[in-house]
Amino acid sequence: MIKKIDHIGIAVKNLDDAIKIWEGLGLKVDEIEEVPREKIRAAILHVGESRIELLEPTDENSAIAKFIAKRGEGIHHIALGVENIEEHMRDLKEKGYRLIYEEPKEGAGGARITFVHPKSTGGILLELCEREE
Ligand code: CMX
């Protein structure tokens, strides 16, 4: 049911600066996308089967802006690629995990996503992500 680590989301203040760092590390930006509902601009860098997503806030009230204000830049979430997100959400809910979106929403790259609250996972914000490959 869980296929892979779909991506790691990294909170950055400035996308251009972060891209320079990551391209210097040897990765390549495949696309840049704005996701207005999440109030972010994302740079997607493919790494084998997974991706790094650099996430820059486009609004001071976004989750990413609040994260940076409180904890600084760095790893914001880990996303698990799942086959049937609704089934997985039902299963986690039954087991008592706290889901942030009760219904899947659209994330970067047209994926269907929800999040599991870090208070349920020992301090890691976890995303569930279903995408057509
Ligand atoms: N990882 C780990 N812990 C986190 C966290 C993160 N990314 N973000 C917040 N926390 C911690 C806070 O530090 C706080 O801990 P303490 O109580 O020990 O201080 C705790 O979680 C709860 O914080 P909160 O005040 O209840 O909630 P926040 O306003 O900080 O919001 C969260 C946290 C996870 C509910 C919110 O960020 C959220 O709804 N996230 C889902 C949406 C999202 O992250 N969108 C951006 C990415 C979109 C994308 O990639 O497409």
The CATH number assigned to the domain holding 114 equals: 3.10.180.10
Q: Which two tokens stand for residue 97?
A: 């995990």
The total number of structural domains that make up the chain: 1
Mean pLDDT of 90-101: 98
Given a contact cutoff of 8 angstroms between Cβ atoms, the answer to whether 53 and 9 are in contact is yes
36 φ/ψ angles, rounded to the nearest 5 degrees? -60, -35
123 φ/ψ angles, rounded to the nearest 5 degrees? 100, 5
The reply to whether ligand 1 has any atom less than 6 angstroms from the CB of 81 is: no
Given a contact cutoff of 8 angstroms between Cβ atoms, the answer to whether 68 and 57 are in contact is yes
What is the structure's pLDDT at 102?
94
Q: Which two tokens stand for residue 88?
A: 């997985």
Full residue range of the structural domain in which residue 111 is found = 2-130
The answer to whether the predicted template modeling score (pTM) of the entire model surpasses 0.75 is yes
The reply to whether ligand 1 has any atom less than 6 angstroms from the CB of 9 is: yes
> Which tens digit of pLDDT belongs to each residue from 27-80?
999 999 999 989 999 999 999 999 999 999 999 999 999 999 999 999 999 999
Band (133; pLDDT cuts 50, 70, 90) = confident
Q: Which two tokens stand for residue 122?
A: 């020992």
3-state class (DSSP) for residue 63: helix
What is the structure's pLDDT at 61?
95
3-state class (DSSP) for residue 101: coil
The reply to whether ligand 1 has any atom less than 6 angstroms from the CB of 118 is: yes
Mean pLDDT of 87-114: 95
Q: Is the pLDDT of residue 108 over 90?
A: no
What is the structure's pLDDT at 31?
96
Q: Distance (Å, rounded) from C-alpha 103 to C-alpha 10?
A: 24
Mean pLDDT of 88-105: 97
Q: Is the pLDDT of residue 109 over 90?
A: no
Name the residue of 7, 77, 130 whose CB sits within 8 Å of the most ligand 1 atoms, as the mutation to test its pocket.
77
Q: Distance (Å, rounded) from C-alpha 34 to C-alpha 40?
A: 6
